[in-house]
Structure formats: structure tokens, C-alpha cells
Amino acid sequence: PPPPPPRALASPRGAGLRLTDHPTCVDPQLRTCSDVAYNHTAFPTLLGLRSREAVEASSEYILLSVLHHLLEGQCNPDLRLLGCAVLAPRCGDGRVHRPCRHVCEDLREACQPAFDAIDMAWPYFLDCGSYFASVEEGCHDPLEKLRGAWGPGGCAGALGWDNRVTGLRSPLRSLYLPQVEPEVKLIGNIHGNEVAGREMLIYLAQYLCSEYLLGSPRIQRLLNTTRIHLLPSMNPDGYEVAAAEGAGYNGWTSGRQNAQNLDLNRNFPDLTSEYYRLEASGSIRSSRIPIPQHYWWGKVAPETKAIIKWMRTTPFVLSASLHGGDLVVSYPFDLSKHSQEEKFSPTPDEKMFKLLARAYADVHPMMMDRSENRCGGNFLKRGSIINGADWYSFTGGMSDFNYLHSNCFEVTVELGCVKFPPEEALYTIWQHNKEPLLNFVEMVHRGIKGVVMDKFGKPVKNARILVKGIRHDITTAPDGDYWRLLPPGSHIVIAQAPGYSKVIKKVTIPARMKRAGRVDFILQPLGTGPKKFLLGPRRSGSAVRDPLGGASPYGEPQEPLGARRQPSAGGSKPWWWSYFTSISQHKPRWLLKY
Ligand SMILES: [Zn+2]
């Protein structure tokens, strides 16, 4: 028997779909819903909207188009497709096909916490009781296309495992995990005869996988919020030379270089000299210094080239390079500012780099060992961390290059004084480095993250994120997202991009945090809007107001997702409210919980 005709539905718009409406099947032609699994949609829609234009102007549709950013990628594209099945319902045989209620109910259960975390009510048009149908009524599954494409996920899928130097993510994976997770890389064995790092990263991969499957809350949270790339060996050729000699026989330097006899940690473009030159010539805010042409005329190892390519295709935030031969964590700059002299040469992010190095050293039992005769006793008084240039100065290092050419902060870890330890020592070395590695990777969530977009919700790539007092800028990735590692305290953060007015916000980073605070920026094109907004209206002191109205709604980093927040005092609206009211005449009051 044919399924029962749809009921009349009530919506905040007053007009629902009525029995008397005869739907026409047409091409959907809606950008946000272009990937639905069907070819025809019906007007009027399940919400009673009668044209494509009416749908596009609706705040329901606007919500779907920015849902990915609002929920930090969580629940998407699933939730968007569910919404599309209501806003652009499937049409066939002259009738509207409604999406399945059980799909709606599953998603509501999984996604409610993400809405709670941003103080947003569950959208009325995703009410599973109203706009959805049962299997018996002949519903369709709006996610069928996704289920087909994804296949089952497993722990291997949760890790960006790069066995050799490839670093390319498969298109499947980038669909599966939202782009707004920070990317971390750990690189071992850049010096072929310093082999402990390569073993540590294999231990780490095994540990992460098994703990994830065993349900460890810490590891599940880490892997669900972080993309971790492991490159156990950056110099497999050098390793082979050292391994042929074997543990206990390997000389101090044999196997250090690659097959072309190049030291890979001296082979990167020297942008630090360039940086010092720019700094000496006046004011400079460093940000992604380009590689000078002459670099490519010299000998560039394929391993180095592959890493540079990898860094360009993946917006890494944090990195560590694992070495051996001493026991210390060193951080940039590695090239001394004072030629011919080993001398403390900090980056503008000295404070943050120190925190990163400490995050490793402070939980490493040997690095914290107070006895003088341990390996690396030299660094005891410094807490086993040191500015690279203060130790020994060199050009062409990987860490300096990371900092000056990309948005990535990299430290160098010396795992112990034995470069090629015997097999039986490995498990102990792993036990010493397990907590430091985890603690270090978790540091990627210190600071702020967010999206820079224009008033239509379109991401702005290559926008600069400036922090007052730190003369080093971070830039946004192609999806408009950025990560800015920051030490605790108050910071003035500015987003700017060519053609847009800049937006200034004040943020406060607490001493302890599990997830980076979300700070989004909506940029207004230059030459439109009232002039007084271009400078950003200020109040006395350093309090900064959001140009879109209201006291800076991003002031405090948000609590972890899933934590319910109390209604804000004074009846002020959640941070995303100004976004909707700035671009649509319909105020979506149905998104407000209070
Ligand atoms: Zn080394």
C-alpha cells in the first residue's frame, strides 16, 4: 500500500506542508546540499518553503552551511545531509520522500553534546518526531552515500601513519576527520645512527592503538581531537649503514648522513640568517619566510625535499625531531644570532618554546634525575632544556626551518647518550619517554584555534593571526582554520587579510587547559560598513570589543566540548548569535536555549 500522506506540520514560520500541496520534482541546485544522494527535490519543502530562493534566504539553510565550522567539524557532513533531507527533501514519483526517523534519532544522540557545548538549541527542523518517517512508512536514509564511501574505521584509520616519507593523506581520510583537528608530527632517526627515536615512535603507535581500543579516556580524547603523524625513520639509508655495524660497535658518526653523505639536519634552507638580516634592517613580523631560489641550486637531499613537501601539504602545528647522543630538549633558534659565538638566540615565541620543551623534560625521569653522573649532566641546572644556539650553533636545521617557513613549532629531543642502544634497553627507554611524548603531543591544544571567514561564512585562507608582543604571525589554512600556540595569560589577537578590515580580540589563556579556546573571526570587506568599525571600537584600557557588536564574545576560551555551560549573565546571547543576525533578516530565535 502507498505510504500515508504527510501530516500538516507546524514550524516557527507558521506554514508547514499541507495535504493539499502538490510537490513538483526539480533539481535541487543548492550549494550546501549539492552532495545529497538523490537528484530531485520538491517544492514546497517539508518546511513549506516554495522556491530555491526562499530556501537559500532562510536561516535554516544558513545554519546548515556553517554547521561544520560551528560544531568544529563534529557530526558533519552527517548532520548537514540530514538537514538537507528536510530543506531539500527527496522527490520521486510525484511525491516527497521523508528521511528516516531512526537516522535522526541516532544523530541527535551523538550530536546533542556538540550543540550543548556552544549553547545552541537542537534545531527545530531536525526534530525527529516531526519531519521524519519510519521505515514502514517508506523513509529513505539520507546518509546512505556516506556509509557506502566510508567503510568501517579502525585504529589504523585514526593514525596518520607514514612509514616512509610520503605524508600524503588519502582523500577518504580527509573526509572522515574534520580539518579543524590540529596536526602533530613526530620524526625519528633523521641522523641514521641515532636509532632510539625510530623505536620510540613504533612503541608509541602500538600504545596509541591498543589504548584507544581498550577505551583509555585520555588516549581516546587525544586521538579524537588530534591528527598525529609518525615518521619513524627519516634517514633509512643512514640507518642501514649504522645497523650493519650493530649496537655497541657503531661509531659516533657512521650512518649519521644519508646515502649522499648529507647531514639532513644541516640540509634545510637557512631562513634564520635571512630572519636576522630582516630583523637588523628594521621592524619585522616573521611569517612563512619563502625559500630563497639559490637554495635549490645546492645539494638538496630527497629526504629533505620530501619533508618540505609534506610540511606544505599539511598544516602542522607542533613537531618533535628525535635524536640521540645526549639527554636534553633543545628548541629554536639553532643558529646563533651572534656569528662565531654560541649564544642564547630566542625566537619571538621563546615563552611557548620553553613550555613545550618543559612539557617533555619535566615528566622524563632521567631528564629530571638530579645525579651528576647521568648522561647529559651538563644540562642538569637548566632542567634539561636549552635554546639550541646556546648549546651549539648550526645552519640548515629542521627546527628553525619549521618555525620560519611554516606555522609549525618544532623542538629537538635528545633521547639519551647512547646513539645505538642494544635491543634489551629499548623497553626501558620507552617507559621513560612514553609520558613525555604524550604530554608533548597534548600541548598542541594549548592556545587558541578558530576559523577566519567572511560575512557569508566563506573561509579566508592565508589570513594572518597576529599576537601583540610576539613578532611572529600564524596564517590560516585553505579551510580558513588556524592554530596559535600561546602561553597562559592575556593576549591581544588580531586577524587580518588583504581586502578586509582587521578584527581585534582579547583572549585569556588559563594556566591549565585541555582544548584550545575557540576564537573565530568574521572579517568585513574594506570599504563597506560604517567607518568607525574599521578600527574596532575600544573601551578604556585593553578591553576590546567585537566589531559585530557586543562585548568581545570570544573573550574567554570555551570550555571543553560536552561541558554544559550556564546561561550567560545579563541575558547576553551566545557568541554565534551575531553571525546569524548580521547576515539574515530572520532571527533564528529557535537556536537560543534561554
Ligand atoms: Zn642527531
Q: What is the pLDDT along the chain (594 residues), one digit of tens a residue?
A: 444 444 444 455 544 444 445 778 888 788 889 889 888 998 888 888 888 888 988 889 989 988 888 887 788 889 999 999 999 999 988 888 999 999 999 899 888 888 887 889 999 999 998 899 999 988 999 988 776 544 443 344 334 333 333 333 333 222 222 346 899 999 999 999 999 999 999 999 999 999 999 989 999 999 999 999 999 999 999 999 999 988 877 777 889 999 999 999 999 999 999 999 988 887 678 888 999 999 999 999 999 999 999 999 999 999 999 999 999 999 999 999 987 888 999 999 999 999 999 999 999 999 988 776 677 667 888 889 999 999 999 999 999 999 999 999 999 999 998 999 999 999 999 999 999 999 999 999 999 999 999 888 888 999 999 999 999 999 999 889 999 999 999 999 999 999 998 999 999 998 887 788 889 899 988 865 443 333 333 333 333 332 222 322 223 333 332 333 334 444 577 777 777 777 666 788 888 887
Residue 148's pLDDT is 57
Is-cis flag, bond preceding 521, omega within 30?
A: no
How much is the pLDDT for 21?
56
Instruction: Name the E strands within 357-500.
Output: 385-387, 409-416, 447-454, 464-467, 470-475, 481-485, 489-496
Asked if 202 contacts 159 with a C-beta cutoff of 8 angstroms, the reply is: no
**Gap from CA of 177 to ligand 1 centroid (Å):** 34
What are the backbone dihedrals phi and psi of residue 578, each rounded to the nearest 5 degrees, phi first?
A: -65, -30
Strand partners, 25: 42
Question: What are 312's three cell numbers?
Answer: 606544505
Grid coordinates given for 209: 592503538
In whole angstroms, what is the distance from residue 508 CA to residue 487 CA? 10
- Other beta carbons within 10 angstroms of residue 493's beta carbon come to 23
Q: What is the pLDDT of residue 1?
A: 47
What is the distance between the alpha carbons of residues 263 and 258, in angstroms, rounded to a whole number? 7
Looking at residue 458, its pLDDT comes to 86
Judge contact between 466 and 493, C-beta under 8 A: yes
For residue 310, the model assigns a pLDDT of 96
What's the confidence (pLDDT) of residue 11? 52
Q: What gap in Å lies between CA 197 and CA 380, rounded to an integer?
A: 22
pLDDT for the residue 518: 86
342: annotated active-site residue? no
Q: What pairs with residue 318 in β-bridges?
A: 184, 409
Residue 373: per-residue pLDDT = 66
CA of 412 to the centre of ligand 1 (A): 9
Distances (CA, A) of 171 to 150, 307, 541: 11, 20, 48
Ligand 1 centroid – CA 183 distance (Å): 23
Residue 479: predicted pLDDT:
86
pLDDT at 272: 96
DSSP structure class, residue 88? S
pLDDT at 554: 27
| Closest to 418 (Cα-Cα) out of 189, 191, 187, 196 | 196
> Do residues 485 and 510 make contact, with C-beta atoms less than 8 angstroms apart?
no
CA–CA separation, 160 and 184 (whole Å): 10
Nearest alpha carbon to residue 47 among 98, 2, 81, 106:
98
350, 414, 435, 556: the active-site residue:
414
The residue whose grid cell reads 641514521 is 192
- Ligand 1: centre distance to CA 285 (Å): 30
| CA 275 – ligand 1 centroid, Å | 24
Percent helix, strand, coil in the chain, to 5, is 35, 20, 45
Q: Transcribe 19-40 into DSSP letters.
A: TT---EEE----GGGTT-S-S-
Enter the pTM of the model.
0.63
- The alpha carbon of 325 and the centre of ligand 1 are apart by a number of angstroms equal to 7
**Strand, coil or helix: what is 211?**
helix
Letter for the amino acid at 118? I
Q: What is the CB neighbour count within 10 angstroms for residue 20?
A: 6
Residue located via cell numbers 651528576: 372
